Amino acid sequence: MVAAKQVPPGLELYLKEHRVSTFSQWPFVSDCFCTPERMAEAGFIHCPTENAPDVVQCFICFKELEGWEPEDDPMEEHRKHSPKCAFLALQKDVADLTVQELIKLSKERTINLIKKQVNLKITDTEEFAAKIHKEISLLCL
């Protein structure tokens, strides 16, 4: 196992132990399928909000899921909602990846992050444009 201190900055989420550590406030800890350990094995990190304490996000495809039930299988839910995720395509633990495989996975993560940021910017711009359009419409009355 690689010590977290030896991992280059920005790659901490590739370690399952680090992903598990994000689940400190996770509501399901025992007697269920969606324990922090299993969530991390499925590639998820815990990113709760005030209104959604069970939101998780894949650290590679950035798919967010919430509304977990104790009987939900994290890996199956991830496959169902994000079947093309590069993390799911791995057939081995991230710690066992070759440098080439790690670079490929990092590339997929970067592409997904850029797509997510672009989509957020598009949404923000569309909302801003709608607000301005409404204001202009009110001025023309």
Note whether 57 and 23 are within 8 A (CB): no
Structure token pair of residue 134: 């409404």
Give the residue extent of every domain in the chain.
4-139
Which residues neighbour 60 within 8 Å (Cβ) at sequence distance 6 or greater?
43, 85, 86, 87, 105, 108, 109, 112
Residues 6+ apart with CB under 8 A from 106: 11
pLDDT in tens, 21-65: 999 999 888 788 999 999 999 999 999 998 999 999 999 999 999
Q: Alpha-carbon dihedral of residues 22, 25, 31, 37, nearest 10 degrees?
A: 0
Q: How far, in Å, CA of 83 to CA of 81, rounded?
A: 6
CATH of 4-139, one of 2.40.37.10, 3.40.50.1950, 3.40.50.261, 1.10.1170.10: 1.10.1170.10
Reported as a pLDDT band with limits 50, 70 and 90, residue 95 is confident
